[in-house]
């Protein structure tokens, strides 16, 4: 199931990437394509893990809205 979700998010990310903010692009690229952990991304951008998590989940939720 997790692999299915990753493939779907990666496909949506590739299609909608030009419409995303720089931060959304960076976080999703690192998390899904480069396999960084939330902690690694947070350290890279000097933010909390929660901020990274919230941004990624919010973007995924917006992808879900696009499907409908």
What is the pTM assigned to this prediction?
0.83
CATH for 46 = 1.10.10.10
| The total number of structural domains that make up the chain | 1
Runs of H (alpha helix) within 1-68: 2-16, 22-28, 38-45, 49-67
pLDDT tens-digit profile, the chain (68 residues): 577 888 888 888 889 899 999 999 999 999 988 999 999 999 999 999 999 999 999 998 888 775 44
CA 6-25-54 angle, 5° bins: 70
Range of the domain at 10: 2-67
Q: Answer whether 59's CB lies under 8 Å from 27's CB.
A: yes
């Amino acid at each position: 199931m997790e692999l299915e979700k990753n493939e779907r998010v990666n496909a949506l990310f590739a299609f909608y990437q030009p419409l995303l903010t720089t931060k959304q692009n960076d976080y999703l690229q690192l998390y899904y394509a480069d396999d960084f952990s939330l902690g690694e991304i947070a350290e890279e951008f000097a933010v909390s893990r929660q901020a990274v998590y919230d941004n990624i989940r919010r973007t995924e939720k917006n992808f879900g809205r696009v499907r409908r």
